[in-house]
């Protein structure tokens, strides 16, 4: 049985520019990834069947059937490659569901990377990205799982290296409320507030924004409470909501400040989910 990590996705900035005729939104986002996330393990089957088992702290309520993105990714890779092999897959769900950190998309992307190795297909990143694109807007970015700029509906990718970002201490906090991406997008006010400047980390800190944060806070006021708490902590360099929420993040100057912040939040909000990690490098 071999293993692959599904790295949590963070939108350091997310600019919504307009709504497209196909119903999707034109986006500009700076994606980064945490060093931690869900974990997938798999062993090969020779009968072609795909069997998924889900465990972990956020396994409850997840369907392991054909609609699960991991299963869909496996079947898509089988179809693209022509392999007759199958797999027994175990997904350990460490990330909260519907939380804006790409859990399902990251799981699907990790499944593609994992099964490509397990079946010795040697598809290559370009081939995996082609398979990933129909599975969801964030799945291609999660295949790469490096800091990158995504445009279009999120599928056009440009890998970036921002000095100072790699291995930066990161804290993820979710108030324990699942949030519908569709509802958040429908709450966006339609105002184009300008292009994203991803030339440096400082530009993202001072000029970046998440245009979905305001409609998400309107739906789940607890998000505002998380952001306010994180913003007031010592050593914080940047605080925002990720994706369509409800998970928020804070980048810290050092790991000590991050760990003290994590302990403080756990002590006063025992029902909140907290993960202390770092930004994943190349």
- Show which residues are catalytic: 9, 138
Is 109 within 8 Å of 132 (Cβ atoms)?
A: yes
Closest CA to 112 of 94, 89, 95: 89
Phi, psi of 259 (to 5 degrees): -65, -40
Tokens 């196909």 — which residue?
22
Closest CA to 245 of 137, 157, 173: 173
């Amino acid at each position: 049985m071999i293993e692959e990590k599904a790295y949590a996705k963070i939108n350091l900035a997310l600019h919504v520019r307009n709504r497209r005729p196909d119903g999707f939104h034109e986006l500009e986002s700076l994606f980064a990834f945490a060093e931690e996330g869900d974990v997938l393990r798999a062993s090969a089957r020779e009968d072609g069947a795909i069997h998924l088992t889900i465990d972990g702290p956020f396994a409850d309520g997840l369907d392991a059937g054909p609609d699960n993105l991991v299963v869909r990714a496996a079947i898509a890779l089988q179809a693209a490659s022509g392999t007759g092999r199958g797999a027994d897959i175990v997904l350990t769900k460490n990330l909260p569901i519907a939380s804006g950190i790409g859990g399902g998309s990251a799981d699907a992307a990790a499944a593609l990377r994992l099964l490509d190795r397990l079946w010795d297909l040697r598809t290559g990143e370009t081939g995996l990205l082609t398979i990933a694109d129909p599975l969801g807007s964030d799945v291609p970015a999660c295949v790469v799982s490096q800091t990158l700029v995504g445009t279009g509906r999120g599928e056009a990718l440009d890998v970036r290296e921002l000095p100072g970002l790699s291995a930066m201490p990161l804290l993820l906090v979710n108030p324990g409320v699942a949030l519908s991406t569709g509802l958040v997008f429908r709450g966006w006010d339609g105002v184009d507030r300008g292009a994203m400047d991803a030339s440096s980390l400082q530009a993202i800190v001072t000029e970046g924004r998440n245009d979905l944060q305001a409609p998400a806070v309107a739906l789940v006021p607890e998000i505002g409470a998380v952001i306010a708490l994180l913003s007031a902590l010592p050593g914080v360099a940047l605080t925002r909501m990720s994706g369509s929420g409800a998970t928020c993040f804070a980048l810290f100057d050092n790991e000590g400040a991050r760990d003290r912040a994590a302990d403080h939040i756990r002590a006063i909000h025992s029902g909140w989910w907290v993960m202390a990690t770092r930004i994943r490098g190349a």
